Amino acid sequence: MFTPEAKAELRRQFGLDDPPLVQYVKYIGSLAKFDLGLSFSTRRPVINELKERLPNTMVLFLSSFVLTTMIGISVGVYTASKRGTFADSFVTGAGLFAYAVPSFWIQLLLLMLFGYYIPILPIHGTMSAPPPDGFFLQLLDRIHHLILPAGSNVVIAFGSWALYTRNTMLEALGQDYIVTARAKGLHEKTVLRHHALRSVLPPIVTLIFSALPGMVAGAVITETIFSWHGVGKYLLDAVMQQDYPAAQGAFYLIALAVVTCNLAADVVYGIVDPRIRVGEGGAK
Amino acid sequence: MSKNKTQTKIGAPTFWEQYRRKPLGMVGLAIVSLYVFVAIFAPYLTPYTPKEILLADRIAAPAWFRSILPKFADAPSSVRISLGSQEWTVSEAVGGGLAPAESDDSPLSVIQFEPFVRDEVVSEEEIDVLEVEEYPKEPEQGVVTLSYTLPYNYSAPKTFGLTFNYWIEAPSDSKTELEFVIETPEGKRYSLWGKSVSGQLANQPARIDSRDLSLKQRLGMTIFDDPAPRIFSSRGDYSLLLIARTIPGEEPTRVYISDPEFYIPGTVHGLLGADHMGADLWTQLVYGTRISLSIGLSAAAISVAVGTAVGIISGYLGGVVDEFIMRIVDVLMAIPDLPILIILGALLGKSVWNIVLLISAFAWMGTARLVRSQTLSLRERVFVEAAKASGASDAYVMIIHILPNVLPLVFAGMVLRIPSAILTEAALSFLGLGDPRVATWGRMLHNARGFGAFTTLAWWWLVPPGLAITFLSLAFVFIGNTVNEILNPRYRERS
């Protein structure tokens, strides 16, 4: 297989000659500088490969996130005002469904439906190869590729947001100040949007931010199914090829994203609910 | 006795009396019971095992498609015929025949030819009398044809195949030819295989597969032609012919044919069709129940047991221990669970036990937090103080006084933990990190994605495993919520 010289050269190249502890300290030191080492399979710096993929992941993640929460909250508010109707029981069902159904299965079904049975959407990748000419066409092409991955994320997750919004809204709608608002003769829409929704938004926003880490982790599956050229797929590919530096790098990036989301959740929690802000006259 | 009975009736209803009044809880229980039944009696619910392959053509559709979809109206199901000595009929026998079988179901057929005995040189007068043609100069060729009638009333199959072993006992001056021929109902003959042997021959396997290039060449087809649909293009009685020709020597010639099996893989198969290896999908679904149930239950039990123990210790002891444990919990909760499971799963090796341990290792923190907060309030209660005052040790108080009081909470939490364990296992198997030796629902979906369910539009491969996972998870959610409603009315909001 290898000559001893080639072996030694490889070991030197990947820094495997040092004792494990020294390797570890070096590794931690280079992590801080975002030096994630060389990929075993491509021999390129892992950070460069991640840099290529990060924008794709961000696009998919942000579009899924924004669409899911917006649709989920609107549907929740709507059904809260239509209690007992078909729409209401639909949302209750969808919320329960979102908890019990394997998300990757829904994505597979959607992929088969819109990619193969009714082939109107691209089945893999972030853009066509070769990409079309012109910026505008390229943008359209990318959006075309985004519909299925982002759309499937919305289908999977909007139910739980809608259900949570509905339940908190229903609680709020039973409060005295709502009765007062209605008694004043305000329009029902105004009551819903400006009185009820305003008061339930803080817990919802908090929950949204605390669910962010889960969505980041779910990117691995979504990207794998739709062959999305992103960090999550890179992680799985690296794991499958036993490309440890690449896997470590991708995991490091994902963990960093999760920690950032957690931090954001804490900050937002403090903003939307000033009662828990720490430091100003003690907690709570 | 009677007094006791009335007392229980007046007192608070038992758990079961409350539970059975909740329709959703009962539905959940019924579904789970059904799954448990399927898991236990899996071998009786299917004639195959998950490891049996080549039961049908690759990605065969469910057999009941024949009655509802015109496209499959007369699709073939698998035809597999073992041609023992009893199955053959001798349609032609010159200078030999089929030797009597050793037993009724012997897989071995022996074709025997008479030896050729040279006449003694006769006297000159007799030669003068004989016509030239009648003079037995050379041995005549003996022919034995074994035939089997195969009624075939389906549309054309994609492939077919034949396997058998053969050997020949013959004198060295004999010459034997073997040939396998399929005759269509129209009388067209396709010679699929042939072999010419001088003298004797040791045991040889014969493997005929309609996809073989050599077979296509033998039939005069190009590599892009497909022999199976051409040969089986019409309906009716096909004849499978095994022809042996020999120029006999001075000893008898015997041709042995053992275990011949003719196989047309069906394009429809069983309840749910077949996968890319021709394995039965219904069998995989049924056996997958065992894995999902056992992984879900054991991972939930382990994680909740660990979480409860950690939570009680942390909450009861407090101080530095509590602080230390809770920081570990914080760190573990911040780690994205699916990515770390993927990495560790690949690193530790693919086995069911590893998956259970990994899922449990990253699922106990929630329980620990919940139990800790409950323990914090419990340890201030009077009964704990009383126990301590009478000299109970910490361990005693934790096990005898705290544990029973957190159990209701823990029990409902455990039931609600099962669906997420099942879903996580399915996701890992789907990504290809499951145990490759066992059939699981996640693995079925992995295979469906990787081996052509999409390009063949085989939705019947994709839908059942997902439905199975969904209904099982839903059932445990129903049960967990109902248990929570009964045991922990104050925590209803949390579920």
Give the model confidence (pLDDT) of A215-265 as tens digits: 877 888 999 999 999 999 999 999 999 898 899 999 999 888 888 888 888
For residue A204, the SS3 value is helix
Task: Note the pLDDT of residue B171.
Answer: 87
B462 CB near a chain A CB, below 8 Å?
A: yes
Two tokens, residue A243: 């490309």
Distance from CA of B335 to the nearest CA of A (A): 6
Which chain A residues are within 8 Å of B426, Cβ to Cβ?
102, 104-105
Give the mean model confidence (pLDDT) for residues B86-101.
85
Separation between Cα atoms, residue A23 and residue A29, nearest integer Å: 10
For residue B430, the number of C-alpha atoms closer than 13 Å in the C-beta half-sphere is 28
Q: Averaged over A182-198, what is the pLDDT?
A: 85
Give percent above pLDDT 90 in chain B.
49
pLDDT at B430: 94
Cα angle B458-B460-B465, degrees, rounded to a multiple of 5 = 120
Q: How confident is the model at residue B8 (pLDDT cuts 50, 70, 90)?
A: very low
Higher pLDDT pick, A35 / B34: B34
Q: Print burial letters for B315-347: b (CB count within 10 Å at least 16), e (below 16).
A: bbeeeeebeebbeebeebbebbbbbbbbbbbbe
CA distance B326 to chain A (A): 16
Q: Which residues contact residue A284 at a Cβ distance below 8 angstroms, ignoring those fewer than 6 apart?
A: A275, A276
**A156 Cβ partners below 8 Å, 6+ apart?**
A98, A101, A103, A106, A107
- Cα distance between residue B278 and residue B280, in whole Å: 7
Question: What is the pLDDT at residue A71?
Answer: 93
Q: Do A100 and B459 touch (CB under 8 A)?
A: no
Residue A56 has pLDDT above 70, yes or no: yes
Render pLDDT for A59-104 as a digit per residue (tens, 0 to 9). Answer: 999 999 999 999 999 998 888 888 778 888 888 888 888 888 999 9
Q: Is the CB of B445 less than 8 angstroms away from the CB of A105?
A: yes
Task: Out of A105, A116, A254, name the one closest to residue B339 (CB).
Answer: A254
Comparing alpha-carbon positions, the chain B residue that sits nearest to A93 is B474
Q: What is the rounded CA–CA span in Å between residue A224 and residue A221?
A: 5
Contacts of B495 in chain A (CB under 8 A): none
Which residue from B minimizes the CA distance to A261? B334
**Where residue B259 falls among pLDDT bands split at 50, 70, 90?**
confident
Smallest Cβ–Cβ distance between A220 and the set B338, B419, B470 belongs to: B338
Is the pTM here over 0.80, yes or no?
yes
pLDDT of B108 higher than 90: no
Residue A52's Cβ-side half-sphere holds a number of Cα atoms within 13 Å equal to 10
Determine the Cα–Cα distance for residues A71 and A91; give it in Å rounded to an integer. Answer: 12
| b/e A121-137 (16+ beta carbons within 10 angstroms → b) | bbbeebbeeeeeeeeee
Shortest CA gap B313–chain A (Å):
26
Of the candidates B488, B490, B493, the one whose C-alpha atom is nearest the C-alpha of residue B18 is B488
Chain-chain contact of A111 with B454 (C-beta, under 8 angstroms): yes
pLDDT tens figures, B343-354: 999 888 888 999
- β-strand pairing of B79-82 with B142-152: unpaired
Instruction: Provide the Cα torsion B304, B310, B312, B314; round to 10°.
Output: -150
Residue with tokens 């609600």: B416
What residues of chain B lie within 8 A of the CB of A108, using their CB? Answer: 445, 448-449, 462, 466
Closest CB to B454: pick one of A112, A220, A250: A112
pLDDT for B180? 92
Rounded to 10 degrees, the C-alpha dihedral B482/B486/B489/B494 comes to -30
Peptide bond into A130 cis (omega under 30): yes
Residues of chain A that touch chain B, judged by Cβ-Cβ distance less than 8 Å: 96-97, 99-102, 104-106, 108-109, 111-112, 115-117, 123, 213-214, 216-218, 220-221, 224-225, 232, 235-236, 239-240, 242, 247, 250-251, 254-255, 258-259, 262
Continuous segment of H or E residues that includes residue B377: helix B365-378
B342 contact A CB<8A: yes
According to DSSP, residue A196 is labeled I
B348 — contact with chain A (CB < 8 Å)? no
Predicted pLDDT of residue B3: 45
Mean pLDDT of B429-452: 91
- Residue B2 pLDDT greater than 60, yes or no: no
Position A98 scores a pLDDT of 81
How far away is chain B from the Cα of A141, in angstroms, using its nearest Cα? 23
CB contact under 8 A, A258 and B335: yes
**d(C-alpha B181, C-alpha B242), whole Å:** 6
With 80 as the cut, is the pLDDT of residue B264 above it?
yes
Pairing outcome for strands B253-264 and B89-94: unpaired
A1, A8 in Cβ contact below 8 A? no
Fold of A37-167+199-272: MetI-like fold (1.10.3720)
Amino acid B492: pLDDT = 46
Segment B113-138 mean pLDDT: 65
Phi, psi for residue B178 in degrees, rounded to 5: -120, 145
Beta bridge partners of B245: B143, B177
Nearest-Cα distance to chain B for A254, in Å, is 8
Q: Which of A79-88, B398-407, B427-436 has the lowest mean pLDDT?
A: A79-88
Nearest-angstrom CA–CA distance, B274 and B270: 8
Which residue in B338, B340, B457 has the most chain A C-beta atoms within 10 A of its own C-beta, making it the best mutation to test that interface?
B338
Instruction: Check CB contact under 8 Å for B465 and A247.
Output: no
| Residue A132 confidence (pLDDT) above 90 | no
Backbone dihedral angles phi then psi of residue A216, each to the nearest 5 degrees: -60, -45
Q: Does B24 touch chain A (CB under 8 A)?
A: no
> How high is the pLDDT of residue A17?
83
**Cβ-proximal residues to B280 (8 Å cutoff; 6+ apart), any chain:** B46, B48, B50, B52, B55, B56, B269, B270, B272, B274
- Tell me: pLDDT of A145 over 90: yes
Partners of B466 on chain A (C-beta within 8 Å) are 101-102, 105-106, 108-109
CA distance B238 to B180: 13
pLDDT digits (tens, 9 = 90+) for B365-389: 999 999 999 999 998 999 999 998 9
Which of A114, A224, A239, A256 to mutate: most B Cβ within 10 Å?
Answer: A239
Q: Which two tokens stand for residue B210?
A: 């309609």
How much of chain B is in helix, strand and coil states, percent to nearest 5? 50, 20, 30
Residues facing residue A45 across a β-bridge? A38
pLDDT > 90? residue B425: yes
Does A140 or A218 have the greater pLDDT score? A140
Q: Where do the H-state alpha helices sit in A101-187?
A: 103-112, 135-173, 176-183
Cβ proximity of B167 and B146 under 8 Å:
no
Q: Which residues from chain A sit within 8 angstroms of residue B423, using beta carbons?
A: 102
What are the structural domain ranges in chain A? Answer: 37-167+199-272
Assess B421–A contact: CB distance below 8 Å, yes or no. Answer: no
CA distance B13 to A137: 69
Interior/surface letters A174-191, b for 16+ CB within 10 angstroms, e for the rest: eeeebeebeeeeeeeeeb
| Dihedral angle, C-alpha B281, B282, B284, B286, nearest 10 ° | 170
Contacts of A247 in chain B (CB under 8 A): 343
**Residue B382 zone, left/alpha/beta (φ > 0; ψ -120 to 50; rest):** alpha
Q: How far apart are CA A254 and CA A266, in angstroms?
A: 19
Alpha carbon distance A275, B299 (integer Å): 38
Torsion from C-alpha of B352, B356, B357, B363, nearest 10 degrees = 160
ipTM of the complex: 0.88
